[in-house]
Amino acid sequence: MNPIPRRFLKQFLLLAAASLNALGAAAAVSDDEIRVGLLVDLNSIYAHITGKGSVEAARMAIEEVGGKIDGKPIRLLVEDHQNSPERAASVAHGWLYEQGVDVIADVAGSPVALAVQEVNRARGAVVFYNGVMTTELTGGKCAATGIHWMYDGHAFNTVLGREMTQAGYRRWYFVTVNNAFGVNVEKSLSEIVRASGGDVIGGVRHAMGSEDLFSELREASQAGAQVIALVNAGKDLIRAVRESADLLAVSKGRTVIVAVATALNDVHEIRPQLAQGLHLAHSFYWNMDAESRAWSKRFFERTGAMPSDLQAGVYSSLTHYFKAVKATGSDHGLTVVRKMRELPIRDPIVRNARLREDGRMVHDVFLLRVKAPGEVREPWDYLEIMRSVPGDRAFRAQADGGCPLVSGAASGK
């Protein structure tokens, strides 16, 4: 066997060293610290369903790993995105490109999430979206390290639209907030209702933060709707549900209110006497089993409230992230995401879960009903789980999303 010429040997060794250095960089914790950015709504319309509760959920996840991984401390940074895509993009840019933040979580609100997705695209940190209804994050605007963890418009719409329509509620009317979330989700839900044998008889859109929605609700009722679908969230949703209780058709049970983006905290603020009969979909309910109940009681001791599915999702997503960092010894975005797909997802929050290539975390979704006041047996137990829908039946098929990172995905969706 002929020896390798010295000049080629030197080049080979240099290339090998460079490759090993690159591998080492991908397998190390940058800056000897794991930096977590929590981008939340602390004072606006989503503050009661994310806000300080999301901050405590993140702290719980950090504390459960002892505040460090393999000796590398975990540092939590918190900023209020103020429900502004421009502010969210600015904060995210500073965190990602100047402060070395490794993972961002919460990011409630579709316009905010889409803005952060673009800021992070070149940086490639892990970003978890827990309170986002638009499916574009796993569709045409997917990103290699953007992870849609909890809320999802298509899944919630499928559970609500298909199950309610097939149960005989066929005449639907939409009251929709006029933003990216509202337009995207209304389109999706309308298609599902029609595909299930229902009919969309009308709709109206309103500005975010509207002070009065009764005229829109009365219009829906007078049109003969069997279902009034509220495609809004936060304070807009709370106002709409409260005002709908004054509609005779609703109080007599002839018309059902469906909310596509609500949380337990919304029902608590509305109160069961006004929200009773409201149908909704959730990824998590605090009293769904013994494990979720035990975790939620620990959350309650810290916050004085039971967790929303958004807040619980912050804990779940960061817990899985820390497992992947521990398993790889790295906080490199792509490295961590690959490991997150390999590791089983099992915690007190989600059931039958897995992470897909398009960034969608698939899990069971629940159809729920707000109990009448006489059915509530203990504080915060406002909801009844009508049925559990497996994730593969609820979420959009990966091949149908149009994510350019997925081989064989359909385009133009």
Tens digit of each residue's pLDDT (9 = 90 or more) over 206-225: 999 999 999 999 999 999 99
Written as one letter, the residue type at 397 is A
Pick the closest to residue 148 from 353, 404, 409, 390 (CA basis): 353
Chain Cα centroid distance, residue 236: 19
Written as one letter, the residue type at 1 is M
Please measure the distance between the N-terminal and C-terminal CA atoms of the chain and give it in whole angstroms. 58
Is a pLDDT exceeding 50 seen at residue 20? Answer: no
Chain Cα centroid distance, residue 99: 25
Assigned token pair, 139: 């569709």
Q: Are 336 and 328 in contact (CB under 8 A)?
A: yes
Q: How far apart, in Å, are the Cα atoms of 265 and each of 19, 308, 405? A: 51, 6, 36
Rg (CA), the chain: 23
SS3 state at 64: helix
Q: Which distant-in-sequence residues (6+ apart) come within 8 Å of 333 by Cβ?
A: 102, 123, 124, 125, 126, 144, 145
DSSP codes of every residue in 108-149: -SHHHHHHHHHHHTTT--EEEESS---GGGGTTT--TTEEE-
Strand partners, 38: 78, 105
Assigned token pair, 258: 């469906």
Is a pLDDT exceeding 80 seen at residue 29? Answer: yes
| Per-residue model confidence as pLDDT tens digits over 346-392 | 999 999 999 999 999 999 999 999 999 999 999 999 999 999 999 99
Considering Cα of 51, then 38, then 365, then 323, what sign does the dihedral take? negative
| Per-residue model confidence as pLDDT tens digits over 285-325 | 999 999 999 999 999 999 999 999 999 999 999 999 999 99
- Output the pTM of the full model: 0.86
In the chain the domains, ranked by start, together with CATH numbers, are 30-151+289-363 (3.40.50.2300), 154-287+365-391 (3.40.50.2300)
| Per-residue model confidence as pLDDT tens digits over 123-166 | 999 999 998 888 899 999 999 999 999 988 889 999 999 999 99
- Locate all alpha helices (DSSP H) within 257-371, ordered by sequence: 264-270, 272-275, 290-303, 309-328, 333-342
Strand partners, 206: 177
Beta strands 354-355 and 361-362: pairing type? antiparallel
Average pLDDT over every residue of 247-261: 92
Residues 36, 31, 343: CA angle, nearest 5 degrees = 55
Assigned token pair, 292: 């979720």
Chain-wide mean pLDDT for the chain? 91
| Per-residue model confidence as pLDDT tens digits over 68-121 | 999 999 999 999 999 999 999 999 999 999 999 999 999 998 899 999 999 999
Pick the closest to residue 382 from 393, 392, 368, 399 (CA basis): 368
- Locate all alpha helices (DSSP H) within 209-308, ordered by sequence: 214-222, 234-244, 248-251, 264-270, 272-275, 290-303
Assigned token pair, 249: 């058709």
Assigned token pair, 169: 């509620």
Find where tokens 């304070």 sit.
Answer: 235
Written as one letter, the residue type at 112 is V
Residues 214, 219, 220: CA angle, nearest 5 degrees = 100
